[in-house]
Amino acid sequence: AHLDAIDRLNPKLNAYITVVPEQDVLTAADAADARYAAGTARPMEGLPVGVKDLFCTKGIKTTAASKILANFIPPYESTVTARLLDAGSLFVGKTNLDEFAMGSANITSAYGAVLNPWQRKGDEATALVPGGSSGGSAAAVAAGLALAATGTDTGGSIRQPAAFCGIVGLKPTYGRCSRWGTIAYASSLDQAGPMTRTVADAGLMLEAMAGFDEKDSTCSNRPVPAFAQAVGKSIKGLRVGIPAEYRAPGLSPEISAMWEQGIAWLRDAGCEIVDVSLPHTKYGLATYYIIAPAECSSNLARYDGIRFGERKDAATLDGIYEATRAAGFGEEVRSRILMGTYVLSAGYYDAYYLKAQKVRTLIKRDFVEAFEKVDVLLTPTAPSAAFAQGENMADPVQMYLNDIFTVPASMAGVPALSVPVGLDSKGLPLGLQIIGRHFDEETVLSVGGALE
Ligand code: GLN
């Protein structure tokens, strides 16, 4: 069914950059059948999974949606995808994304934009964005082109597209999943996570993806709990914080109403609702858009035409670098590299980068202090529902504002889940975000399960 959906819908949605040859999928499916028959099926045996094209997959082209990696076939498997394979999952393709995961609408991919499978009621002509950067994963799961998909989230790239496409997306605690073999954007923020149709599926998939890996020094050695079992647990007596600062101007009234509805549902389920304050929230976006480009400018220095991917020849080594990078990187990536090198440059480092690091500590402290009073926080995932292709394009700051509710949890490294909770008056899905304590994905999943 998923392969049929790929045949039928991928030409329109453009959710996959690379589709695994059908015969390979069917062979793997037969092997999965045999394991079910023999009673040796593993937790994700035979489940068709889409893999964001940012995870290196051995023998399968991995592009990061960039021209600079157009023909890169990794000779190794990322830790996360290796674990998913070990758990029995079956990869059906590599999903589209914003180039190097930089974006909020999946429009910067060198392989074309992704279409959101949802449409506004009575306005089927307007093409909507799926969100980004994991827009291909979100569209694939929403339209049945995969049962689940991997995403990565640096400042919201799992949660915001999940909200725009009406699916579940979980950014785990920083350090929960190994980053080894995942193409780096901003290393102090990047986290892999599951994008699924249900919260229970997200728990199951995270169980397979997570855990210590000696190849990533920031990967935690904490044991991996039975996440799937957290779903369905009673949430009675939990304290749910509502951060005042998220009642931001510009928040759509329909999202505000959905948030109130979510609060009411949790109160009815026996939670205690507590007003909290995260006073440094207003610096979140500005700080993020200094730190993330700074790290990206450093990480993307490796694409020099010598070690990876495409090369444009020139007479000198510097000439090769220049020609390769000018031809290989898209506009958004180039602008982020420029921003990053600027804030890291000797004359501006203290004023921008160092200052941003200090503010990041304050943002993190806000969360730690809030979690002394409450068990989780409930907020909207994004300030609007999916917007139209072409909207928010003229002004990059307008586009960056999409990340206003997702960036703070990334800066703090805490886990955050987006759950689809209803539709707006145009029939588009809306998501609410549940943010938890460091390494307490279980409580986040319990609350998410109660809201879905
Ligand atoms: N939209 C944010 C950015 O462009 C987040 C991207 C992400 O989480 N990978 O940086």
DSSP 314-373: -SSHHHHHHHHHHHHS-HHHHHHHHHHHHHHSTTTIIIIIIHHHHHHHHHHHHHHHHHHH
% of residues, the chain, pLDDT over 90: 95
For ligand 1, is residue 180 a contact (CB within 6 Å)? Answer: no
Q: How far is CA 96 from CA 149, 172, 272, in A?
A: 11, 21, 40
Residue 9 alpha carbon to ligand 1 centre in Å: 26
pLDDT of residue 11: 98
Catalytic annotation present for 157: yes
Q: How far is CA 80 from CA 123, 216, 287, in A?
A: 39, 11, 28
Query: What single-letter DSSP state applies at residue 113?
Result: P
pLDDT of residue 367: 98
pLDDT of residue 380: 97
Class of domain 2-230: alpha beta
Backbone angles phi, psi at 240, to 5 degrees: -110, 120
Backbone angles phi, psi at 49, to 5 degrees: -120, 140
For residue 447, give the 3-state DSSP assignment.
helix
Catalytic annotation present for 52: yes
For ligand 1, is residue 405 a contact (CB within 6 Å)? Answer: no
Looking at per-residue pLDDT, the higher value among 371 and 402 belongs to 371
If pLDDT is split at 50, 70 and 90, which confidence band does 309 have? confident
pLDDT of residue 319: 97
pLDDT of residue 396: 81
% of residues, the chain, pLDDT over 70: 100
- Say yes or no to pLDDT of 80 above 80: yes
How far is residue 114's CA from residue 10's CA, in Å, rounded to a whole number? 9
The rounded mean pLDDT for the chain is 96
Q: Could you say which of 66, 78, 89, 133 is catalytic? A: 133
Q: Could you say which of 89, 157, 297, 410 is catalytic? A: 157
Longest dimension (CA), the chain: 70
Work out which ligand 1 atom sits closest to the CA atom of 102. Answer: 4
pLDDT of residue 249: 72
Total number of residues shown for the chain: 452
For ligand 1, is residue 77 a contact (CB within 6 Å)? Answer: no
> Ligand 1: which residue has its CA nearest to atom 10?
102
**Side by side, which strands form the sheet with 148-153?**
16-19, 90-95, 48-52, 148-153, 191-196, 168-171, 416-423, 429-436, 376-380, 239-243, 272-276
pTM more than 0.90: yes
Over residues 296-300, the mean pLDDT reads 98
Here the contacts of 219-227 (C-beta below 8 Å, separation 24 or greater) are 219/175, 219/177, 219/178, 219/179, 219/180, 220/173, 220/175, 220/176, 220/439, 222/439, 225/441, 225/442, 227/202, 227/203, 227/441, 227/442, 227/445
Residue 315 alpha carbon to ligand 1 centre in Å: 36
For ligand 1, is residue 156 a contact (CB within 6 Å)? Answer: yes
| 156, 402 Cβ separation under 8 angstroms | yes
Catalytic annotation present for 133: yes
Q: What are the sequence ranges of the domains in the chain?
A: 2-230
pLDDT of residue 297: 98
Query: What is this model's ipTM?
Result: 0.97
If pLDDT is split at 50, 70 and 90, which confidence band does 251 have? confident
